[in-house]
Structure 1
């Protein structure tokens, strides 16, 4: 089986997993919202914090062995965890929250294992295509999975969503098992290949900081649609759905556009340019100028966010030996979710103190600082080349 065929099978596994995952996210959120806003808030908290821990302490483990086995182990853990929710008293039970923590802990491990495997069979120049394709799948499945999860929640409630997700994970396991059998006679591709060098992160510090700062600003998108869809304290669900769906379409378009832009400009200029434009979009988002402006600015912001993320992820992973790719992918995810979590904390502290438009302007300022950091990295890189 050719390398291209293997990549297609990994993409297929990712596609199946993500559809089930997005369906579960909307299904569990609906279940928590039915129990009250405090339950939903706790659900968000136990979703983001463990991702950072998993990306820091668990993702590096995939560099020590076979990434395909790591993905299979993660899927087995997911199945057991979802079965535990089946046996709970409801979405807001202690067992459900504990299960969400476990699912969040292993989430970055799966992506890091995918990236580590791709890095071992793909050249540095080819990694932008790989991460572009993963982003494409993520946003396409976001649209499909959210729709499927909402429909299942309406007809079959949470048990139906759980069954759908478990079925998707089992199908992914079957695909991964086929890949594992294919590589049984060529273990060198799967096993870690230590380079004998010490990981040197100093040149990547600006990229880490830029990713954190940009997501510290862009994280406002988690509450932005709901706030803009609320008038006089009443949430208009049709407006919310319109914003979210168009946002998802433009995020997919951004992921599709990243490769030609990256190939034309290079990693660091693409990162800096996307951060500058994203900061401008956040500035426009701070204006209460009607639904068309809300949709256009937030959708453009998400599209630019995909260009920034894929470029930064590629830059980090391609800057080190293949046996370090899992660790670098984990650090990228930690910076990403750390920024998003920081935005949530800041919003909870400032939400009652400042007008929403001012909070969004502060988010734009954070993204602009990310642009400044990325620009500094571009200048330093050109000086070193000279």
Structure 2
């Protein structure tokens, strides 16, 4: 199998996995929201918080091993965790939360393995295209997976969603088995141990902080559509689906737009500009101004979020040697999901004390802080006369 063919197969497995994952995510969030608002907030935290541990402790391991084997192991663990949820009687039971936590713990390993693979066969300038392609797949599958999950949870309830996700993971595992033998022939390329320490990454600290702060605010999107689609305690699934599908469409457009913007402006200006506009969108989202404003503001926010994420991820991964790509991808995911988990925790604590609009406005303030940090990084980089590579 050629290098190009192997790359396409890895993209294919990512697509299959993400369709099942998005279907599962909307299914379990709907179930938790129907249980209680606080259960939904806790569910968001359980979905995203363990990603921090996985990205910090497990993602660096893929730099030392065969990334394809790492993806296969993750898929086996995913199947086991999903099967265990079938044993629960209540959606908000301890076993259900534990299974979701396991799925979250191993999630960053899969993406880090993909990034580690691509970084070794792709130039620094080409990484924006690779991560753009991954983002395109993510949001195309968001549309397909969210629609499928909403339909399945309505007709077959959560067990139907679980069965769909397990089937998708199993199919991806079979596809990976088909290329594993071929990949072993070039495994020697991946045998060099990672070099450097976290202290070598000081030039990237502003980017880490900007990613965390932005997601601390933007993480509200995980509950925003369902809350805006709920009136009098009753969820209007038609309105929810309209918001979710439009959000996904604009997110896909954002992912498609990132490469020309990145090529024209550069990494840091793209990050700063997207953060500033995203903060403005969150401020508009705080207004209870009707469904058109809800759809337009949240959709624009997600589109800008994809531009921010792809630019930040590329900036981090391309700033280090290829043998550290998995670690840097893990750090990017840690910053992203620690912010999202923090948002879920804050939402659970504030939802009974503040209006939803005020909570979203606080989220906008967090995103504005991200814009300030990224702007500072832009100014500092322009005043620097000597380029200081992070880890070449």
Q: Same fold (TM over 0.5)?
A: yes
Question: Which residue in 2 is equivalent to 1:257?
Answer: 257
Describe the SS at the equivalent of 2:113: helix
Describe the SS at the equivalent of 2:102: helix
Q: Is it true that 1:193 corresponds to 2:192 in the alignment?
A: yes
**1:34, distance to aligned residue in structure 2 (A):** 5.3
**1:221, distance to aligned residue in structure 2 (A):** 1.7
Q: Is it true that 1:61 corresponds to 2:55 in the alignment?
A: no
Describe the SS at the equivalent of 2:125: coil
**1:185, distance to aligned residue in structure 2 (A):** 2.1
Question: Which residue in 2 is equivalent to 1:248?
Answer: 248
Question: Which residue in 2 is equivalent to 1:27?
Answer: 27
Question: Which residue in 2 is equivalent to 1:164?
Answer: 164
Question: Which residue in 2 is equivalent to 1:348?
Answer: 348
CA distance in 1, matches of 2:42, 2:287: 30
The answer as to whether partners of 2:70 and 2:113 remain within 8 angstroms in 1 is yes
Question: Which residue in 2 is equivalent to 1:219?
Answer: 219
Q: Is it true that 1:316 corresponds to 2:313 in the alignment?
A: no
For residues 168-187 of structure 1, the aligned pairs below 5 Å read: 168-187=168-187
Say if 1:313 and 1:285 are closer, same or farther in 2 by CA, change over 3 A: same
CA distance in 2, matches of 1:43, 1:227: 15
CA distance in 1, matches of 2:288, 2:212: 27
CA distance in 1, matches of 2:185, 2:301: 46
The answer as to whether partners of 2:277 and 2:304 remain within 8 angstroms in 1 is yes
CA distance in 1, matches of 2:281, 2:40: 28
Say if 1:351 and 1:39 are closer, same or farther in 2 by CA, change over 3 A: closer
CA distance in 2, matches of 1:31, 1:168: 21
For residues 1-386 of structure 1, the aligned pairs below 5 Å read: 1-33=1-33, 35-37=35-37, 39-189=39-189, 191-194=190-193, 196-199=195-198, 200-385=200-385
**1:167, distance to aligned residue in structure 2 (A):** 1.7
Say if 1:94 and 1:238 are closer, same or farther in 2 by CA, change over 3 A: same
Runs (5+) with no aligned partner, structure 2: 387-392
Say if 1:321 and 1:223 are closer, same or farther in 2 by CA, change over 3 A: same
Say if 1:31 and 1:347 are closer, same or farther in 2 by CA, change over 3 A: closer
CA distance in 2, matches of 1:90, 1:360: 30
CA distance in 2, matches of 1:352, 1:185: 57
- In the TM superposition, what whole-angstrom CA distance separates every residue of 1:114-159 from its partner, at most 9, and x where no partner exists? 1111111111111111111111111111111122223333333333
- In the TM superposition, what whole-angstrom CA distance separates every residue of 1:156-179 from its partner, at most 9, and x where no partner exists? 333332222222112111221222
**1:43, distance to aligned residue in structure 2 (A):** 3.1
Describe the SS at the equivalent of 1:58: helix
CA distance in 1, matches of 2:161, 2:364: 37
The answer as to whether partners of 2:32 and 2:43 remain within 8 angstroms in 1 is yes
Of 169-178 and 270-279, more deviation after overlay is shown by: 169-178
Of 52-61 and 348-357, more deviation after overlay is shown by: 348-357
**1:338, distance to aligned residue in structure 2 (A):** 1.2
Say if 1:39 and 1:278 are closer, same or farther in 2 by CA, change over 3 A: closer
**1:302, distance to aligned residue in structure 2 (A):** 0.6
**1:66, distance to aligned residue in structure 2 (A):** 1.1
User: Structure 1 length as normaliser, TM-score?
Assistant: 0.93
Describe the SS at the equivalent of 2:384: helix
Describe the SS at the equivalent of 1:183: helix
The answer as to whether partners of 2:38 and 2:348 remain within 8 angstroms in 1 is no
Aligned residues: 385
CA distance in 1, matches of 2:92, 2:194: 47
Describe the SS at the equivalent of 1:287: coil
Of 347-356 and 208-217, more deviation after overlay is shown by: 347-356
The answer as to whether partners of 2:42 and 2:344 remain within 8 angstroms in 1 is no
Say if 1:335 and 1:145 are closer, same or farther in 2 by CA, change over 3 A: same
User: Structure 2 length as normaliser, TM-score?
Assistant: 0.91
- In the TM superposition, what whole-angstrom CA distance separates every residue of 1:214-242 from its partner, at most 9, and x where no partner exists? 11111222232233334455443322222
Say if 1:96 and 1:347 are closer, same or farther in 2 by CA, change over 3 A: closer
Say if 1:382 and 1:36 are closer, same or farther in 2 by CA, change over 3 A: closer
- In the TM superposition, what whole-angstrom CA distance separates every residue of 1:74-120 from its partner, at most 9, and x where no partner exists? 01111122222234445344333222111111011111111111111
Runs (5+) with no aligned partner, structure 1: none
